Chain A
Amino acid sequence: MPSDSLCFEANHLSRAFGHGRRRRLAVNDATFTIREREIVSLVGQSGCGKTVLAKMLLRLEKPTSGQLLFRGRPIDAAADPREHWRQVQAVFQDPYAAFNQFFSIRSQLKAAFHLFPQRPSEREMEERVDQALLAVNIRPPDIEGKYPFELSGGQMQRMLLARIFILRPQVLIADEPTSMVDACSRAGILEYLMKLKEELQMTIVFVTHDIGLAYYVSDRIFILHEGQIVEQGTPDAVTQSPTSPVTRQLLDDIPSLHREWIGRAPRA
C-alpha cells in the first residue's frame, strides 16, 4: 500500500533542449508528487517527454528550471550521484544495450555490488547472485559462462530484474521494460516486477506508451503530451472518465480484442 510520505515532489519542473529557435521543452512545467510505495505510470506517445522525466528522477538529466525533491531534499543534494542510485535504480527498454556484450552475464550481475562502498565477501556475493537468479526463475547453471547475446530478450530482461534484486533499491524506474519482449514473456516480466515490488516494498515509476498496461500495473497514471502532464488520476478514473482528448486518443488506439479498432473489418 502506498504510504502518505512523499518520495518525489516536483514543482514547475522543466527541461529544455536546444537553443534559440531550436529550443524545445521536453518537459514543460510539470508539478506532481509520488508517494512512497506507490506505482505511478507515465503514459504518452513517443516524444512526449516521459523518458526525459524519468531520467530526471534518476538524476541522469538536470532540470532546466523548477524544483525536484527526493524524500524532502533536492535530488542533487549529495555531490556523489551514486548516493542517489543506491536508492533509485532503473530497468530500461533494451536489455542488450544495458549489458556489456564482452563480459559474462554473471560477472556483470556481480559488478552491481560496486555501487556500494563496502562489498560483501566473495561467497556472499555469489550466494546473492544465485538467489536473485532464482527469484526471476532462472537456474544459475543455465547462465553459467554465458554472454548476453546467447540469451533471448525475455531472459535478458529478467537478468535486469535480477540485478534489481541484488541492489534492492527503494525506488525503481521502469522505462518500457516490456516493449522489446514478446507477448508471452511480457506476462512473466510483469509478474516478476510485481513480486519484486512486494518483496522490496518499492516505489515504482513505470514508463509506457500502452495505457492498457499502465491500467494493469499502476496505482496512479500520469498522461503526458508535448512535455506537459495533461491528466493524472487513478487507473479507473483516467480510463473510465478521461478529461483530456489525449487520453481518449490513447485509449482508442489500443488494439483490443473485443472492440472495433481501425474502422474496418479484416479483409477476406
Chain B
Amino acid sequence: MTPILEVDRLSLHYRTRFGGRIHAVDDVSFTLQKGEILGIAGESGCGKTTLVSGLMGLLIPPLHRTTGAVRIAGRDILGLTPDEARRTVLGREVSMIPQGALNSLNPTRKVKDLAADVIRSHDERADRSAIHDRLRERFTKIGLDADAVLDAYPVQLPAGTKQRVVIGISTLLNPKIVIADEPSSALDVSTQKAVIRLLFDLLDEGIVSSMIFITHELSLLRHVSSRIAVMYAGQIVELGTTEQVIFDGRQPYTRALMGSMLSAEPGQKARKPVAIEGAPPYLGQELHGCRFAPRCPVAKPDCAGRDQVLREVKNHWVRCHHAE
C-alpha cells in the first residue's frame, strides 16, 4: 500500500541572524498510512513543532530545508513557496490543530466569520448562504449547538467548546491528514477525553483519513495512536507500534521518558517518577556521538564518540547501538 504521507530523511534548520544554523530536525523518516494515527512524543524543544511546519510545506524563513523530502501522494511539498503551500496543501491535504488552540481564534470576530474565511480562501466564489449552511451542517455534526456557537465571539465559549470550534474549522475542507499538536494539553482531563473522542469520530466518518498526534504524554498516546515515534534533539530515536514503544522500549531515552511519567494509578501505590537530569544538547553546533549520552543512565564509554543510526531491534527502529 502506498503511504498517504512519506517523510524521507528530512532535515530542517533555522538560520540565525549571525549566520549560524540551528538544526531543529535532523534525518527524520517515517510514513503514514491511510486510516492510521501516528503519535510523536518528546520533550519540549525536541523539534516536534518544527517538524510540523515541514509537514505542512510551510518553510517560512528563517526555517529552511537542509535535505530530504516530504511527499504527499508522491508530490514533494517542500518545493512549494509558502503561498503555494497555503493554497494547495493547507486545509485540503494537511491541516493542523494548533498547540495553543484556545488562543488561536481572533477574539474580535464571530466564529462564523472566522470559519467562513477558511472556505473563502479556497473558493472565492462561494456565496454567503451556501457557506453558512455548510458551517451549520459541519458544526452540528461535531456535536455543537451550531446556531449559538457560530454567532458567538470566541471569548464567550467555554474551553472545551472553543477546542471543538478550532477542530471544526481545521477540518472544514476535509483534509487527508490532520496534525494535532498538543491538542489537549491546556484542557482538563474530562474535556481532553471528549476532544479525543471527537478526533476519533472525524476519522470514523471519513472527514479526515489519517492523523499525526503530537504530545509529551505517553499515557495518552497509549490510547490514541497505533504507532509512536519518539523524538530527541531533532531526531527520531525510536519508532514502533504503541505496544512496543511503551511497554518494551529499547532506547534508553524512551525508557527514561516512561520512568519520568507520573502514572499515579489511583488506588495503587504511586511509583515515584524519576526526572531526566540535565538538558538536551544545543542544536546550533555540529553534534557527534550519541546525543542522549550525557544524560543517559546506562551510557557506556563508547557512546559519546559514536554517531547513532536507526537500526532494527526486535521488529522496530531504535537509535542506540547498545540496544538489543
Q: Does A pair with B?
A: yes
A253 to B191, CA, bound (A): 9
A249 located at the interface, meaning its Cβ lies under 8 Å from any Cβ of chain B in the complex: yes
- The reply to whether A258 and B266 form a contact with Cβ atoms under 8 Å apart is no
- Nearest residue (CB) in A for B203 is A267
Q: Is the interface of B mostly helix, strand, loop or mixed?
A: loop
Contact-size category for B? 35 or more
Closest to A242 in B: B266
- Is A46 within 8 A of B188, CB to CB? yes
**A259 and B43 contacting across the interface, CB-CB below 8 Å:** no
Bound-state CA distance A181–B257 (Å) is 14
A183 and B257 within 8 A (CB): yes
A157 to chain B, nearest CB (A): 11
B-contacting residues, A240-268, CB 8 Å: 240, 249-251, 253-259, 261-262, 264, 266-268
**Is B130 interfacial (CB 8 A cutoff)?**
no
Residues 173-194 of chain B, each 1 if its beta carbon lies under 8 Å from chain A, else 0: 0000000000001111111110
- The listed residue with most B CB atoms (<10 A of its CB), out of A236, A240, A257, is A257
Does any Cβ of A come within 8 Å of B323's Cβ?
no
Asked if B144 is at the interface of the complex by the 8 Å CB criterion, the answer is: no
Within the assembled complex, what's the spacing in Å between the Cα atoms of A215 and B196?
Answer: 24
**Which residue in chain B gives the minimum CB-CB distance to A254?**
B189
Hey, which chain B residues are within 8 Å of A77, CB to CB?
none
Number of residue pairs spanning A and B whose beta carbons lie under 8 angstroms apart: 130
Q: A211-B266, A212-B265 are in contact. Are A266 and B44 (CB under 8 A)?
A: no
Which chain A residues lie closer than 8 Å to B189 at the CB level? 45, 209-211, 250, 253-255
By a CB distance below 8 angstroms, the chain A residues around B160 are: 46
Instruction: Give Cα A154–Cα B37 distance, bound, in whole angstroms.
Output: 28
User: Which residue in A46, A152, A183 is a CB contact (below 8 Å) of B191?
Assistant: A46
Whether A256 contacts B275 in the complex (CB less than 8 A), given A46-B191, A184-B216, A267-B36, comes out as no
Q: A182-B44, A239-B266, A253-B193 are in contact. Are A267 and B226 (CB under 8 A)?
A: yes
Residues of A within 8 A of B220 (CB): 255
- The contact of B274 among A47, A187, A255, A256, by CB within 8 Å, is A187
A123, B301: Cα distance in complex, Å: 43
| Listed residue (B192, B266, B274) with the most chain A CB atoms within 10 angstroms of its CB | B266
User: In the bound complex, do residue B36 and residue A212 qualify as a contact, i.e. CB atoms below 8 Å apart?
Assistant: no
Q: Which residues of A contact B158 (CB under 8 A)?
A: 46-47
Q: Is B287 an interface residue (CB 8 A)?
A: no
Looking at the complex, which one of B43, B186, B191, B223 makes contact with A261 (CB distance below 8 Å)? B223
Excluding A182-B216, A184-B275, A254-B189, 8 further A-B contacts by CB distance (< 8 Å) are A45-B188, A45-B190, A186-B260, A190-B273, A191-B275, A216-B262, A261-B222, A266-B225
13 pairs, A vs B, C-beta closer than 8 Å: A46-B158, A46-B191, A152-B45, A179-B185, A209-B188, A210-B189, A215-B264, A240-B267, A253-B193, A255-B189, A258-B265, A266-B223, A267-B35
Instruction: List residues of B whose CB falls within 8 A of some A CB.
Output: 35-37, 43-45, 158-160, 185-193, 196-197, 200, 203, 216-220, 222-226, 242, 246, 256-257, 260-267, 270, 273-277, 279
Interface on A for B, CB 8 Å cutoff?
A: 45-47, 137, 152-154, 179, 181-188, 190-191, 209-213, 215-216, 235-236, 239-240, 249-251, 253-259, 261-262, 264, 266-268
